[in-house]
């Protein structure tokens, strides 16, 4: 019985170690096209990542935000509009990188 418990503990620890060692997705990059209040419009560099969808939280170097608009399929370049309380700290024409943030739902 103790052997089974020890084996289960080892398997859980190994599974946790493997999942935490997986690399995070590379940041998405783009260029800021416009800023209007707390809304920032960004033209993405390259293809749109699968996770980029309306209402998904994002994390910038300067703060957090949420995607509120994604351009229609087939539009090049892909543009998104993000709301962020730190929009005033960004500048039109600057390069920006961001990644998927964490949701605060249920907190």
CATH number of the domain to which 59 belongs = 2.40.30.20
- Residue 106: predicted pLDDT: 53
**Residue 78 resides in a domain:** yes
Least reliable range by pLDDT among 8-12, 47-51, 76-80: 8-12
> Does residue 54 lie in a domain region?
yes
Is there a domain that residue 83 lies in?
Answer: yes
Task: Tell me the pLDDT of the chain averaged across its residues.
Answer: 84
E-assigned strands of 23-103? 28-36, 39-44, 57-60, 64-70, 79-83, 95-100
**Residue 10 belongs to some domain of the structure:** no
Domain that residue 49 falls in: 25-100
Count structural domains, the chain: 1
For residue 27, whether the previous peptide bond is cis, meaning omega lies within 30 degrees of 0, is: no
């Amino acid at each position: 019985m103790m052997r089974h418990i020890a084996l289960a503990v080892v398997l859980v620890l190994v599974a946790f170690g493997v999942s935490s060692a997986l690399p995070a997705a590379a940041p998405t990059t783009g260029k800021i096209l416009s800023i209007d209040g707390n809304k920032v419009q960004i033209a993405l560099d390259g293809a749109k990542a699968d996770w980029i969808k309306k209402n998904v939280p994002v994390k910038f170097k300067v703060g957090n935000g949420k995607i509120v608009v994604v351009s229609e399929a087939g539009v090049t370049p892909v543009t998104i509009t993000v709301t962020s309380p730190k929009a005033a700290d960004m500048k039109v024409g600057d390069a920006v990188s961001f990644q998927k943030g964490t949701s605060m739902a249920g907190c």
